[in-house]
Amino acid sequence: MTKMTKILFRAKNEEKKNKAGEENSEQSVNPNPVIALRDVWKTYRTGAVQLTALRGISVQIFRGEFTAIMGPSGSGKSTMMNILGCLDQMDSGSYFLNDTDISNLSQNQLAFIRNQEIGFVFQSFNLLTKITLQENVELPLVYAGLGRRERAKRAAEALEAVGLLSWARHRPNEVSGGQIQRAAIARAIVMRPALLMADEPTGNLDSRTSLDIMEVFSQLNKNGSTIVLITHEKDIASFANRIVRVEDGEIVFDSFGRDAPGPGKNH
Ligand SMILES: Nc1ncnc2c1ncn2[C@@H]1O[C@H](COP(=O)(O)OP(=O)(O)OP(=O)(O)O)[C@@H](O)[C@H]1O
Ligand SMILES: [Mg+2]
């Protein structure tokens, strides 16, 4: 646990330094990247079959960016996201998250980082159906060991941020698909993660509801969250301020620098 505390301490310190840097500067100066992937390779082996899903992916993502990852089905987007989210390991390459080298961490340390640093919204990640939206949103706080009162307070804040406070006591089967997805976002942000990741968060939803969901992501981004979101849809990607396109396991386009993003830009 001591090593973990050190890792987090470093990450938090970095965050403070970055914040201080921004306050001292009109423009958002380039702090160290939140995400730094370098030459990442990943091959899946199923029996005799080998499939190389990532072929030397390198990308840096900075604090306050809202990045959309696009690309055809099977191009490696979810594989890349699973590595970014510390859910899967790469074969070679390096990954620094908030200046912490992720490649040498144990499963326990990775689980800790996931809980503390990253919020996920997955299309297939359903809420638990037997408990209320609020209880679903509180789950990461339970894992983090927070007390009941603090959990209720933070869950209420997160539900309010996605416009669901009045639905807190309903169960998932009593609300719409869009509301479930918003609750999944609330659960992802309840730990106030530095980084929010979403894999096709609007994939199942009609276009009106998708736009509502994207408004929620936009607002979170305006409030300082760094967001990485996978989508097939141009309309959805247009909410982002950076587009990264993946094809056959490689980044073939990156709009970085064309429309310099940064927190505070839209305020
Ligand atoms: N667990 C796995 N075992 C074996 N092969 C896999 C596994 N996961 C993904 N693949 C393969 O790796 C490649 C990239 O898959 P990935 O899920 O990253 O694509 P994607 O870009 O997210 O596609 P989609 O848009 O359809 O979600 C695909 O060819 C896929 O079949
Ligand atoms: Mg995918």
Instruction: Please compute the mean of the pLDDT values over residues 223-241 and round it to a whole number.
Output: 93
Nearest CA to ligand 1 atom 7: 44
Helices 107-117, 2-23: axis angle to 10 degrees equals 30
Q: What are phi and psi of 101, to 5 degrees?
A: -75, 115
The residue nearest atom 8 of ligand 1, judged by CA position, is 79
How far is 211 from 1, CA to CA, in rounded Å? 42
- The protein residue whose alpha carbon is closest to atom 28 in ligand 1 is 74
User: In this model, does residue 31 exceed pLDDT 80?
Assistant: no
Pairwise CA distance, residues 154 & 219, whole Å? 18
More confidently predicted of 20 and 154:
154
- 41, 43, 78, 91, best to mutate for ligand 1 pocket (most atoms within 8 Å of CB): 78
Pocket of ligand 1 (CB under 6 A): 44, 46, 51, 53, 71, 73-79
Cα(76) to ligand 1 centroid in Å equals 6
What Cα–Cα distance (Å) separates residue 178 from each residue in 130, 156, 165, 184?
18, 18, 14, 10
Q: Which atom of ligand 1 is nearest to the CA of 79?
A: 18
When the pLDDT of each residue in the chain is averaged and rounded to a whole number, the result is 85
Q: What is the DSSP string of 23-59?
A: HT-SS------SEEEEEEEEEEEETTEEEEEEEEEEE
Domain extents for the chain?
A: 2-254
Q: Which ligand is nearest to the CA of 246?
A: 1
Question: Which has the minimum average pLDDT: 63-77, 122-136, 159-173, 176-190?
Answer: 122-136
Q: Which fold has domain 2-254?
A: Rossmann fold (3.40.50)
| Mean pLDDT computed over 201-216 | 85
Of the two residues 3 and 116, the one the predictor is more confident about is 116
Q: What are the phi and psi torsion angles at 249 (to 5°)? A: 75, 10
Q: What is the C-alpha R_g of the chain?
A: 18
Atom of ligand 1 nearest to the CA of 72: 25
Q: Ligand 2 centroid vs 165 CA: distance in angstroms?
A: 31
Question: Alpha-carbon distance 241 to 179, whole Å?
Answer: 25
Bridge partners of 197? 120, 228
Report pTM: 0.82
**Atom 17 (ligand 1) nearest CA:** 78
Of all atoms in ligand 1, which is nearest to the CA of residue 71?
21
